[in-house]
Amino acid sequence: MQQRPLNLGITQVESAQLLGIDQHKMSALINGKLSGFSTVRLFRFLNSLGRDVEIVVKDKPKSLTQARTQVVSG
């Protein structure tokens, strides 16, 4: 199956070529296996694919007992 990362209209192989990695690593990324990649490298990958990366730190809502980390795509 030819998945289309980030809905860019390109295949895994094309995405891998754009990022300078092999298709096996691209497949791992798509499947959420990120342990072999630094955060900075992941951010650079997103930038290479035409995506801005923005980190926002804010106060925890009072309704929650514990702070959380979430990724929001928009």
Residue 1: its pLDDT value, please?
33
Tell me the per-residue pLDDT of 19-59, one tens digit each, with 9 for 90 and over.
Answer: 999 989 988 988 889 898 999 999 999 898 888 999 999 99
Query: Exposed, middle or buried, 57 (CB in 10 Å: 0-12/13-18/19+)?
Result: exposed
Residue 6: its pLDDT value, please?
58
Residue 64: its pLDDT value, please?
94
| In the chain, where the domains are located | 1-74
pLDDT at 73 over 70: yes
In the chain, how many H helices and how many E strands? Answer: 3, 0
Considering the segment(s) 1-74 as one domain, its CATH architecture is: Orthogonal Bundle (1.10)
Which of 37, 45, 38, 57 lies closest to 19, judged by CA?
45
Residue 2: its pLDDT value, please?
42
Residue 13: its pLDDT value, please?
86
Q: What does the buried/exposed string (b/e) look like for 9-27 if buried means 16 or more CB atoms within 10 Å of the residue's CB?
A: ebbbebbbebbebeeebbe
